[in-house]
Amino acid sequence: MFPASMMRDDPPGLPEVSELDLVRHYVKLSQKNFSIDSGFYPLGSCTMKYNPKINDEIARLAGMASLHPLQAEETVQGALHLLYSLEEFLKEILGVDHISFQPVAGAQGEMVGLMMIRACLESRGENRHKVLIPDSAHGTNPASAGLAGFDVEEIKSNSQGLIDLDDLKKHLDRDCAALMLTNPNTLGLFEKDILKISEAVHQAGALMYMDGANLNALLGVVRPGDMGFDVVHANLHKTFSTPHGGGGPGAGAVGVKAMLAPFLPKPTIEKKGNVYTLNHHRPQSIGKVSTFYGNFGNLVRAYVYIRSNGAQGLAKISEMAILNANYVRKRLDAVYKVAQDRPCMHEVVFTAKKFKSKEVHARDLCKRLMDYGFHPPTVYFPLIVEEAMMVEPTETESKETLDAFCEAMLSIAKEAETNPELLLKAPWTTPVGRLDETEAVKKLNIRWKKEASPK
Domain-located, residue 157: yes
pLDDT class of 411 with cuts at 50, 70, 90 = very high
CATH of the domain at 274: 3.40.640.10
Beta strands of 169-326 (E only): which ranges?
A: 176-182, 207-212, 231-235, 252-256, 268-272, 275-279
Mean pLDDT of 83-96: 98
The CA-atom distances, in angstroms, between 404 and each of 358, 389, 401, 409 are 25, 18, 5, 9
Residues 278 and 342 in one domain: no
Number of domains in the chain: 2
Residues 253 and 399 in one domain: no
Residues 328 and 395 in one domain: yes
The answer to whether the CB of 128 falls within 8 A of the CB of 206 is: yes
Residues 66 and 194 in one domain: yes
d(CA 47, CA 216): 7
Choose the weakest-confidence range: 42-56, 141-155, 176-190.
Answer: 42-56
Residues 190 and 327 in one domain: no
Choose the weakest-confidence range: 88-102, 332-346, 433-447.
Answer: 433-447
- Torsion-angle region of residue 373: left (phi > 0), alpha (psi -120 to 50) or beta? left
Mean pLDDT of 47-74: 92
- Given 254, 286, 309, which residue is the final one in a domain? 309
Domain-located, residue 23: no
pLDDT at 452 over 80: no
d(CA 373, CA 39): 8
Domain-located, residue 27: no
Domain-located, residue 377: yes
The CA-atom distances, in angstroms, between 311 and each of 156, 257, 430, 447 are 36, 22, 42, 50
Residues 283 and 337 in one domain: no
Residues 295 and 435 in one domain: no
Tens digits of residue pLDDT in 27-37? 998 888 888 88
Domain-located, residue 37: no
Domain-located, residue 276: yes
Tens digits of residue pLDDT in 224-253? 999 999 999 999 988 998 777 655 688 999
Residues 212 and 160 in one domain: yes
The full 3-state SS of 95-133, as one line of letters, equals CCCEEECCCCCHHHHHHHHHHHHHHHHHHCCCCCCEEEE
Domain-located, residue 133: yes
CATH of the domain at 322: 3.90.1150.10
Mean residue pLDDT of the chain comes to: 93
The answer to whether the CB of 318 falls within 8 A of the CB of 347 is: no
- Cβ neighbours of residue 353 closer than 8 Å, sequence gap 6 or more: 337, 386, 387
- Count the neighbouring beta carbons within 10 Å of the beta carbon of residue 278: 14
Pairing, β 388-391 against β 348-351: antiparallel
Residues 109 and 186 in one domain: yes
The percent of residues in the chain predicted with pLDDT above 70, rounded, is 97
User: pTM of the full predicted structure?
Assistant: 0.90
pLDDT in the model for residue 37: 86
d(CA 221, CA 304): 20
pLDDT in the model for residue 170: 96
pLDDT at 127 over 90: yes
d(CA 45, CA 136): 12
Residues 193 and 332 in one domain: no
User: Exposed (0-12), middle (13-18) or buried (19+): which is 84, by Cβ within 10 Å?
Assistant: middle
- Given 291, 309, 327, which residue is the final one in a domain? 309
Name the residue range of residue 155's domain.
53-309
The answer to whether the CB of 435 falls within 8 A of the CB of 450 is: no
Question: Any idea what DSSP says for residue 246?
Answer: T
pLDDT at 23 over 70: yes
Choose the weakest-confidence range: 88-102, 163-177, 288-302.
Answer: 288-302
- Given 309, 334, 361, which residue is the final one in a domain? 309
pLDDT in the model for residue 438: 82
Domain-located, residue 117: yes
Residues 293 and 333 in one domain: no
Choose the weakest-confidence range: 40-49, 261-270, 306-315, 318-327.
Answer: 40-49
pLDDT in the model for residue 242: 79
Tens digits of residue pLDDT in 274-286? 999 999 999 999 9
pLDDT in the model for residue 340: 93
The CA-atom distances, in angstroms, between 385 and each of 70, 247, 340, 446, 451 are 49, 27, 10, 31, 33
d(CA 430, CA 87): 44
Residues 325 and 305 in one domain: no
